[in-house]
Structure 1
Amino acid sequence: MNLNEKIDGLKEELIKASQEVVKIKSIEEEGKPGMPFGEGVSKALDKALEISASLGFRTYKEEEGYYGYAEYGEGEDYVAVLGHMDVVPEGDNWIHPPYGAEIHDGKMFGRGTLDDKAPTMAALFGLKAIKDLNMPISKKVRVIFGTNEETGSSEMHVYNKKEKAPAAGFTPDAMYPLINAEKGIRRFHVVKTLNSCNCDISIKSLKGGIRPNMVPDKCETIIAAKDTEAVVKAVKEFADKMGYNMKSEIVNGDVVLHTFGVSAHGSMPELGKNAVMHTFQFLGTILKGGCGLADYVNFFNKNVALETEGTSLKIACEDKPSGKLSLNVGVADINEGKADMWIDIRYPVTAKGEEIMNTLSKEFGKCGAKIERVEAQDPLYYAEDSKLVTTLLKVYSEQTGEEGKAYGIGGGTYAKELPNIVGFGPIFPGKPDLDHQANEYIEIDDLIMNAKIYAHTIYELAK
């Protein structure tokens, strides 16, 4: 029996294991002793380790609960598969329960089916096939279960302090054929203190978005106005003209405006419809200049609006390995005293993050705003002729019959958190990237093919 035949025989077990982890809601919450990112994430980690132990692997859980892993084989060096058990919030508009892991028309639906609980299980079962066939390997293999990839990867800081670096490996947290270039990431708040406003129209509050790395699909604004009926009428006229999904009503003497967009991953904001910026565009038509919020809104409308490449902010750039800079306004939180926008940018691997941030500080300063709380992640790049890249592409081509080429992305994967790691699958060319979106799913056939590719890859790296 060969590897692929063995994995075909493990199909039902792999599906069941994937469903078990997807059914656990594992969004970051307030930490508890032994559960640094909350109870849900900890439960998902425990379930992954329980499954690993049932497959006959050695398991380890870091004493404070930051990470765990399944391990097989012997040797000084190890090959790593780096997955994560945390997920982003599910959001709305699901046709099947986001934590149901239900299978319909050959697809498993649920948050984490692509990003990346089920693909991590595929790698685990790929290793199970190697173990069951007693294939000779010269290195240990470790399937690592991370817990904080979506909100900072702080658990990997703990891992790097305590563990030896892998000799080689991959993370099933990207796309095929292979990701050899990952843009740098900067996340930051654009904050402005607002003075009291005596205008005929003012904003009591505006809240939109959940995370900076997601295009916001909802925004709620409470508008105080002397003529509320006129504002409601203006909303309808603007929405009809622009083709935007906006609804308003008068509640307790104020206008409550609901704007609906389409979410997408923050690394590809052009695929979404930004509810916050749609709201800003409308507010720009009713707020008169002269107050701090109007200046803030008008600045964003002039210099950001629906742009996703930073052109008007003077930071647009691109390179051959990784493509164009992207910009996403992910979260807005505005009240009568402060405006706060949380922005996510992804910049090309050859660009300089500090230079981009210096430019942005100058530009946002023009409307009296400051940049605060910057989170930084530097770019990653492996040459196309490196041994790691060529080995993985060879396996991909052999298993799929398709040409394997490396390319760059804007999404930050776990590859940045450990040396000698690249992004490899699970999304095949031509298939939709539903990471962070409603109705996330993985096709069962693709889940099995991932297990086969990962099994052969692990063996090639560890033999």
Structure 2
Amino acid sequence: MNVNLKQRIDEMRDEIIKSTKEIISKKSVKHSPVANMPFGEDIHKCFTYTLDLCKALGFETKNIDNYAGHAEFGSGEEVVGVLVHLDVVPEGDNWTYPPYGGEIHDGKIYGRGTIDDKGPAIAALYAMKAIKDSGVKLNKKIRIILGLDEESSWESLKYYLAREKAPDVAFTPDADFPAIHGEKGILAFDLVKTFADKVSDEGIRILSIKGGNRSNMVPDYCEVQLMSNNSLKSKLEAYVKSNDVKLEILEVDDRITIKSYGVSAHSSMPEHGQNAISQLILFLNTLDLEPGDISDFIKLYSEKIGMEYHGESIGCGFNDKPSGKLIFNVGIIDLSEDRVKVTVNIRYPVTLTDEVVYKGIENNLKNSGVTIVSHEHSAPIYLPKDHELIQKLMKVYREFTGDDSEPIVIGGGTYARAMENAVAFGPLFPGQPELAHQKDEYISIENLIKITKIYANALYELAK
């Protein structure tokens, strides 16, 4: 542990807090491109703020056509990298404090991105500043790379790496401690079915179901529009009482709206949330629906997906020793009287392939009329625990925490999988609540300063 780095970070404490509050205030949700702003104006403003901060801290900066950028110092051919992202998922509803307020309450800074990934980005930046100010001699460069669409297509980092040489070794502060030596494979795809068979028999008619924002979020809201000759209020109230779910009903003549409220969470940890889509479908499956393709689909969803998040009933309940069980999350549903599209996000074990996962699902959905439309795949990454990068990061982590835990494998997907010799490292300590993609996301000031010290020492170990 370098005492000088620790002392310098303590001196910069107020600056670190101020910069974190400022970057949180820059709403940076991805939007359609506008003139020379590939990810929309909001992300661009956050990006230019961060580049300006890097310059003010004394780093050399580079803007790669507004797609990405970096800041660096040091000399030599080899580069030690920190990969961060400035974009955030949509804020969602029901925050206790403003999602872009950067307000401090009980020693915690609240706001979208405080833990994923703006707070850690600021920590890494000031970790670099501490090393620079300490005057230690390095024979490598230290570079922070600023990505702008990690929560969606990774177009930003792909554009950057097509034009700049990747660091020789790197970490991303965008997951958990201790060091992460593996990340599960990620699949995103749609389950699609066209409805041809429509029967009118006085049963309950489903007009539409809509819910969810992103495949990589557990949806916290979904609603269905129905037509029914009879009130469904008593049935819903009885179901809510016996199943401990939050459903609300609005009835105007024969038109009925049912609203389903869940709990948002990151799709890699659906057990921390409550899927508003799935709980609504399960209720609909208890009703006397009109026979036909729509009611068949509701039944199929209930039987093959339900509230499961390991994919057992749909044929992909795989697991392996290094990384555990497959994770299955329904993120979005868009159902009309003509067709349905359900968007699914899967995190599969590191020793498997996407072909094995798809084959399991296809076999299970045979003759259902449901087709799979794939639109994202990111292969798993895996480094042995004795890899030099893992060893150095673990050394620093153990010195600071006294925690002798082993490196871990996660279901989350980070920038580490974009290049060789890169892993995720922090910022969440064991036992801390996972607040990424959830309301009331926060980082405690104590941990913000602590991770800055850990990152400074990690970068020093990798670059000295």
- TM-score (norm. length: structure 1): 0.97
- The question of whether the paired residues in 1 share the 8 Å contact of 2:199 and 2:291 is answered with no
Deviation at 1:367, TM superposition (A): 2.0
Partner amino acid, structure 1, of 2:239: F
Identity over aligned residues, as a percent?
A: 42
2:427 counterpart residue number: 426
Asked if 1:48 is matched to 2:50, the reply is yes
Question: Aligned partners of 1:339, 1:217: CA distance in 2, in Å?
Answer: 19
CA distance in 1, matches of 2:312, 2:32: 38
Which residue of 1 is the match for residue 8 of structure 2?
6
Give the counterpart letter for 2:223 in structure 1: E
Q: Quick one: which amino acid aligns to residue 149 of structure 2?
A: N
Instruction: Write the deviation string for residues 381-400 of structure 1: whole angstroms up to 9, x where unpaired.
Output: 01000000001000111122
Task: Give how far 1:401 is off.
Answer: 2.3
Letter matched to residue 284 of structure 2: L
Q: Which whole-Å deviations, capped at 9, do the CAs of 1:81-131 have from their partners, x for residues lacking one?
A: 000000001111211101001010000000000001011110100000111
Paired position in structure 2 for 1:201: 204
Structure 2 residue 139 is matched with structure 1 residue 117: no
CA distance in 2 between counterparts of 1:14 and 1:197 reads: 63
Equivalences for 1:15-30 in 2 at 5 Å? 15-30=17-32
The separation in 2 between residues aligned to 1:381 and 1:112, in whole angstroms, is: 27
Contact 1:396 1:404 in 2 (8 A): no
Q: Any runs of at least 4 consecutive aligned residues in structure 1 with deviations exceeding 6 A, and if so which?
A: none
State the distance in 2 between where 1:252 and 1:20 align.
50
1:172 aligns with 2:157: no
Q: Secondary structure at the match of 2:217?
A: coil
Aligned to 2:94: 93
What letter corresponds to residue 218 of structure 1 in structure 2? Y
Aligned position for 2:80? 79
Q: Assess if the C-alpha contact under 8 Å between 1:202 and 1:287 holds in 2.
A: no
| Alignment pair present for 1:223 and 2:226 | yes
Q: CA deviation at 1:362?
A: 2.9
Structure 1 residue 454: Cα displacement: 0.4
SS at match of 1:343: strand
Task: Give the counterpart letter for 1:47 in structure 2.
Answer: Y
Structure 1 residues not aligned, in runs of 5+: none
1:386 aligns with 2:357: no
Alignment partner, residue 377 of structure 1: 378
Deviates more, 1:13-22 or 1:363-372: 363-372
Write the distance in 2 (CA, Å) between the matches of 1:311 and 1:45. 42
- Quickly say closer, same or farther: Cα 1:49–1:197, change in 2 above 3 A: farther
Once residues 393 and 179 of structure 1 are traced to their aligned partners in structure 2, the CA distance between those partners, rounded to angstroms, is 10
| Residue of structure 2 in register with 1:362 after alignment | 363
Match of 1:37 among 36, 39, 50: 39
Describe how 1:29-428 pairs up with structure 2 within 5 A. Answer: 29-63=31-65, 65-195=66-196, 196-199=198-201, 200-227=203-230, 229=231, 231-251=232-252, 253-288=254-289, 290-428=291-429
Deviates most, 91-100 or 354-363: 354-363
Task: Please report how far the alpha carbon of residue 366 of structure 1 lies from its aligned counterpart in structure 2 after TM superposition.
Answer: 3.3
SS at match of 2:365: helix
Task: Give me the whole-angstrom Cα distance separating, in 1, the residues matched to 2:273 and 2:303.
Answer: 20
Between the aligned partners of 1:197 and 1:222, the Cα distance in structure 2 is 17
Indicate if the aligned counterparts of 1:3 and 1:456 stay in contact, CA closer than 8 A: yes
Question: Which stretch shifts more, 187-196 or 450-459?
Answer: 187-196
Contact 2:87 2:151 in 1 (8 A): yes
Cα RMSD after superposing both structures: 1.2
- 8 Å contact 2:209–2:222 — kept in the other structure? yes
Contact 2:80 2:167 in 1 (8 A): yes
The C-alpha deviation readout for 1:297-339, integer Å capped at 9, x for no partner, is 1011111101111111121121222111010011111111111
Q: Is the 8 A contact 1:57 1:72 kept in 2?
A: yes
Give the whole-Å Cα distance in 1 for the aligned partners of 2:91 and 2:245. 23
- The secondary structure found in structure 1 opposite 2:377 is strand
The code of the aligned residue for 1:49 comes to: L
Out of 324-333 and 232-241, give the one that drifted further: 232-241
Q: Does the 8 Å contact 1:183/1:322 carry over to 2?
A: yes
**Distance in 1 between residues matched to 2:74 and 2:384, nearest whole Å:** 29
When the two structures are aligned, how many residues end up with a matched partner? Answer: 460
Structure 1 counterpart of 2:14, which letter? Answer: E
Q: What are structure 2's unaligned runs of at least 5 residues?
A: none
For residue 34 of structure 2, give the secondary structure of its aligned residue in structure 1.
Answer: coil
SS at match of 1:210: coil
Letter in 2 for 1:445: E
SS in 2 for 1:143: strand
**Per-residue deviation at 1:252?**
6.3
Relative to structure 2, which stretch is displaced further, 53-62 or 285-294? 285-294
SS in 1 for 2:313: coil
Query: What residue identity is the alignment partner of 1:205?
Result: S
